[in-house]
């Protein structure tokens, strides 16, 4: 089984429901196993900026599908989920990209792996860091790539707690612990008179 990183995004309709529905469809496939889900992030549009904000997240899957078949599977899933083909970087009901496929490097007319924009987009790297921070991709990790991005021109990316909560409810035990209540606190619940 190959480990594949996916980037999911949507900025039309009920964005969170579209992402959850796509993940549920993937999870129902015999040839795919969802292994990790990031939180859901809200981000400004990239490329064409006169459109609604996006929700973005990352997922790790294991699959026995070859790379081109995996790509065709997620693109068929996009269409089945109501995606209409529009201009590049334009609005979309759902978008699913293959970010990496094991350590494979591939350049065909249909698919480039790893994804050529992976290390240029904060909205891809921030969720990927949650679930695979140290994975080596072309000599860099997602965490290194995120830290190397300049602050300007790469878009604001903010964790959406409500959408992340909805995702965690749909996939118990598989979403990353991104909400404060999911982490163990080292702070006392009440002041006991001692110094911090």
Flag whether 188 is in a domain. no
Q: Give the pLDDT of residue 67.
A: 98
Domain extent for 145: 2-181
Q: Which of 15, 42, 92, 135 is catalytic?
A: 92
Beta strands 112-113; 41-43: pairing state: unpaired
* pLDDT attached to residue 112: 97
CA distance 4 to 185: 32
Within-domain flag for 186: no
Confirm whether 122 is a catalytic residue.
no
d(CA 156, CA 175): 22
- Predicted structure pTM score: 0.86
Q: How confident is the model at residue 122 (pLDDT cuts 50, 70, 90)?
A: very high
One DSSP character per residue, 19-66 reads HHHHHHHHHT-TTEEEEEE---EEE--SSS-SSPPEEEEEEEEEE-S-
Mind listing the pLDDT tens digit for each residue in 7-50? 999 999 999 999 999 999 999 999 999 999 999 999 988 778 88
> Which residues make beta-bridge pairs with 17?
none
pLDDT of residue 180: 38
Of residues 15, 42, 95, 160, which has the active-site annotation? 95
17: left (phi over 0), alpha (psi -120 to 50) or beta: alpha
Least confident of 99-108, 122-131, 170-179, 181-190: 181-190
Nearest CA to 23 out of 13, 42, 41, 36 is that of 36
The pLDDT confidence band at residue 154, using thresholds 50, 70 and 90, is low
Domain presence at residue 88: yes
What integer best gives the mean pLDDT of the chain?
86
Q: Nearest CA to 81 among 165, 7, 23?
A: 23
Q: Rounded to 5 degrees, what angle do the CA atoms 165, 147, 71 make? A: 60
102 closest CA partner among 17, 4, 33, 1: 4
189 pLDDT more than 70? no
Residue 176: per-residue pLDDT: 62
156: domain CATH number is 3.30.70.560
The structure tokens listed for 97 are 């990209």
In a domain, 191, yes or no: no
Catalytic residue among 15, 97, 122, 160: 97
* 3-state secondary structure labels for all residues of 73-138: HHHHHHHHCCCCCCCCCCCCCCEEEEEEECCCCEECCCCEECCCCHHHCHHHHHHHHHHCCCCCEC
- Asked whether residue 187 is domain-assigned, the answer is no
Give the pLDDT confidence score for residue 185 in this predicted structure: 29
Annotated catalytic residue within 83, 121, 122, 135:
83
Cβ proximity of 175 and 168 under 8 Å: yes
The whole-number pLDDT of residue 155 equals: 61
Q: What is the pLDDT of residue 83?
A: 79
Task: Assess whether 95 carries a catalytic annotation.
Answer: yes
Cα(76)–Cα(57) distance, rounded to whole angstroms?
Answer: 19
Residue 59: inside a domain, yes or no? Answer: yes
170 assigned to some structural domain: yes
Assigned domain for 195 exists = no
Per the structure, the count of domains in the chain is 1
């Amino acid at each position: 089984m190959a480990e594949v990183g996916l980037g999911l995004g949507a900025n039309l309709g009920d964005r969170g429901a579209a992402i959850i529905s796509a993940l549920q469809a993937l999870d129902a496939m015999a040839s795919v196993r969802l292994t990790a889900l990031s939180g859901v992030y809200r981000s400004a549009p990239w490329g064409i900026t006169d459109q609604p904000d996006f929700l973005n997240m990352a997922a790790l899957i294991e699959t026995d599908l070859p790379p081109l078949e995996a790509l065709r599977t997620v693109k068929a899933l996009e269409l089945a989920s109501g995606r209409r083909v529009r201009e590049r970087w334009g609005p979309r009901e759902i978008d699913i990209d293959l970010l990496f496929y094991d350590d494979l490097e591939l350049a065909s007319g249909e698919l480039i792996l790893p994804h050529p924009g992976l290390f240029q987009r904060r909205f891809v790297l921030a969720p990927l860091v949650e679930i695979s921070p140290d994975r080596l991709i072309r000599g860099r990790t997602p965490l290194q790539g995120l830290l190397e991005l300049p602050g300007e021109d790469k878009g604001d990316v903010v964790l959406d707690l409500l959408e992340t909560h909805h995702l965690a409810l749909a996939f118990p035990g598989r979403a990353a612990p991104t909400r404060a209540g999911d982490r163990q606190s080292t702070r006392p619940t009440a002041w006991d008179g001692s110094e911090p």
